[in-house]
Structure 1
Amino acid sequence: MNKIINKLDEIQDEQKIAILFACEAGSRARGLESENSDYDVRFIYVHPRDWYLRVDLEAQRDVIEYPLDDKLDISGWDIRKALQLLYKSNPSIIEWLQSSIVYKKSNSFYEDVKTLLKKFYSPYSCFNHYLSMVYRNVKNLDKEKIVGAKNFINMIRPVLVLNWIEQSHQVPPNDLSTLAGQVISDQNLYYAIEQLVKSKKHNTEFNNPDNIRLLNNFVSTELDRLKKAVPPKQPTTRDKSELNQLFLDTVNSVS
């Protein structure tokens, strides 16, 4: 973790920004890491106030990306981009803010943005996102024909998220085992998912025919059911004043 924090400090100095929040967003955040897993570090940053006072603000780059280096995959979004995506209930920013592995945070910003996450979270938007993801991943499996633990997880996890949203209408956790423990009541199915997680973490083959059959049937049955279970759509226009205020307060606090 120290290496990651030091790298984030370097990025702040190099880019002349303040990092407000940095987290793990990949397999490690989902409880699926193996020995060879990269560190997928994602962050939200803010420039000094004067950077935002320009006519061509919309033309300025609002993403910072670094090439993969020694298993570190690091990228970040400007605060305006992050808050705009939060307003749209974008699943990526939601997963960042739900991460249990936080490398760096401004306490005031973090608490405020987590409060706004609950306000702007849209079960409808997220449900449709993950439903599309399942269809896409199932199609990819058909094309690849060879099915490994990672392929199965890409198919199973969004189905579990969809079940979570359907059952609770709340923001889903990132951890796959937590999701399964909350939404799966069938013990055989839960066991198959746990074996899948172990296969992914230990880089072993997932080749038990009973477990494969069980998971395939689960995905197929759930797809047919879930496409009819889309939550009601929320109003498309909502008050942005709290997002604007958080943006202004944050910019002023670092200038």
Structure 2
Amino acid sequence: MSATFVNVSSAVRRSAWARTAASLLIMLGLWILATTVLGVPAFTLPSPAAVTSAWWEAASGGGLFSDILVSATRLLLGGAAGISTGIVLGVLAGLSGAVRVSLEPLVNAMSGIAGIAWIPLALAWFGTGLAMSTFVIWNGVFFVVFANAALGVSRVQPSLVQSVRTMGGGWWEVLRTVILPGALPDILTGVRVGLSFAWRALIAAELLGAPQGLGQWINRAALNQRSDQILAGCITVAVLGVFLERVTVSLIAKHTVVKWGTITDASGRGGR
């Protein structure tokens, strides 16, 4: 890798961080302007200082981190179920025309229904326990991962498969060395989108009926008419959502498809 390429990549990354920081500073400035100069009532829009104080109040008491842990556990269980079943059935649909014809119409029909639309029925089926949140998260993840896994497998070049077969490789070798690596960029896209859907659906489910979690923490703040806590909870949800995407999915991509040169990252890097 040339020094010029490294310098260009570093400049692109710095530029991206600079634009993000500028956007956040503009939003913060408008927020301060609305609450101080324009005199928006605190009940409608609490000041940044009030929201920070409310967040610290919840964090120092331990309740906030307990709710975050509960929500993260639910997301981990439901996400693992949705990702694993979506990849397995999606790969099978990509490999087998019979499986694709059998599953795709049902998956397409079900994926058109928003995840939060299932929450009332999930509450009737499972109550407010872990099974309800697991189902809601699975529903948010599975269909997107399935569709992207099937798409990724269909994009693998048949010539690559034939090359491995010609060299004596069995179907497991073809699957491990050609199909899964070739489909992984689309699978990771599905995981990224699916987890964002699932995160929103989980917060909605917790708002409506779960006994604990970030959504229920926001709901308690609403019942107590604490606008500062509501906004602090919403910001926490947003930050954790970004963290989930940047640290988990992007980290996996960096050490797989970006490293292999299958796709490029935000800086334009790809391959070794």
TM-score, scaled to structure 1: 0.24
More helix by share: 2
TM-score, scaled to structure 2: 0.23
More strand by share: 1
